[in-house]
Every structure is written in C-alpha cells, then in structure tokens.
Amino acid sequence: MQDVIPIAQQQYEYPVWLVFLDPGLNMTRYDNQIKILYEDNHLLGVYKPPGMLIQGDKTGDLSLLDWAKEWIKNRYKKPGNVFLGLVHRLDRPVAGVALFARTSKAAGRLSAQIRDRTMEKIYWAVVHGTPDPLEGRSELHLARIRNKSIVTGPNDPFGKLAVLHYQVLESRVPFSLMEVTLVTGRHHQIRCQLAALGNPVLGDVKYGSLQPLPSGTIALLSKRIVCRHPTKGLDVVIESPLPENWPWPFP
C-alpha cells in the first residue's frame, strides 16, 4: 500500500505499572503484558493479552477498554471521563491488536470502514490438521445461540453470511499455522468457520479442539490491522507481537 505510516515510528513501550486514579482497576494479572502499539490524537492501538476482556461485562473483571481509558487519563492528566470508542471486538481468549478511537470523528470514520469492508483485519491461528486446499475462501451462514455460533443454511432467518480468506503459512504434523483475513465480522466467526473446515483452533474446546491450553486461552491472534487514518488520509498498519507461550513452532 502507498502512503503508509511506518509502524517503527509509532512503537511505544510504556510501562503498565502506572498508578491508576481508579483503585477498582486491578492490574496485577496483566502486569507487563499490555502494550501500546500505536498512538496519535485520533487512534490508539493496544496489545490485548489472552484472557482479558475487551469490554466490561457482568463478571466485573478488568477490561482493556477500561485500562486504556485510565492510561490516557494518567498520561495526559485529563480530568473527568475520557472518551474512547470501541471499534471492534476480540473474544476474551484471543490475544492481539485492539483498535480504539480517541475522538468521535475517528469512531464514525472507522465504523464506516468496517461497514464498507475497507479495514483489513488479519489473524493468525494454530489449528489441528492441515486444510485442503491450503488456501481458499470460506462462505458459510452462521447463527448465534447464546454464546456459541453454529453453521446454518442460507434460508435460516437467524443465519448471517460469514466470509473469510485463509492460507496455510506452515504445517508441522499434527498442526498448521494459518493466516486468516476477515471479510465479515460475525460472532466467533473464525473459530466456527475453521472448525467447520475440520481444523479447529488449538485450545478451542468449545469448537472441537481436544487439547486445551493454559488458562482457557486459544491459539488465535489478532495479528494485524490496516485502516485509513481518519484525518490524514494515510494507511495505518498496526501489528501485534506474538504472545508469551505462543504455540508455534509446535514442539
């Protein structure tokens, strides 16, 4: 792509031992795991550790959205509430790049990119077996039932079209490393579609993996996001580091 903001000029290694204004944010579990990957006046790209919520839920556990708001509040000494728009979602056991909007203008323009399918969201997954063919496109209709998605028919009123592209990067029996590019963004889409191919994500017992990973994590990583900057007209590339204990190459 042309007119790309180089990642190397936007890397940060801010410590995560900051003293938070909100004593309710318990950082102990995620010390030294969260990383700021990209920051400017409109965008914030953050590495989400596996097992951390992207947004608060009924568990009351710390979410990355809450953490990021508090990080901005402390870094820029902002009084009151901090605006931060959640642009997309990541499942709790998934690690990798999470993109937030720091302004309402950015939130609206990034949402339009997702709606128009011009934002690239690329994932890596370690899966059981090796897909055949090694590269392809998967189109299925998925329906959500509580906290799980199932493959359904095109005439199912609850089914939504789910599309992704995939390619095998490397294979070492009995597992493979895949790269997946999302076209649509359905609930548990990658997890459900790879399982439907016969290649569930390693550790994803909900979708057929027989080999759980520690702490209920799964071998799925939000590896890279490419978006158009909301005001500069440039492409921004934000890439995730590999998580600790990432299971590839598999021993």
- Identify the structural domains of the chain with CATH numbers, from first to last: 4-239 (3.30.2350.10)
Q: How far apart are CA 24 and CA 67, in angstroms?
A: 11
Spatial contact of 172 and 249, defined as CB atoms under 8 Å apart: yes
User: Is 61 tagged catalytic?
Assistant: no
Please name which of 245, 236, 241 lies closest in space to residue 202, comparing C-alpha atoms.
245
For residue range 9-57, list pLDDT tens digits in order. Answer: 344 333 332 323 344 445 546 768 999 999 999 999 999 999 999 998 8
Burial class (CB in 10 A: 0-12, 13-18, 19+), 46: buried
Catalytic annotation, pick one of 22, 40, 91, 132: 91
Spatial contact of 148 and 125, defined as CB atoms under 8 Å apart: no
For residue 251, is pLDDT > 70? no
**The pLDDT value given to residue 60:** 80
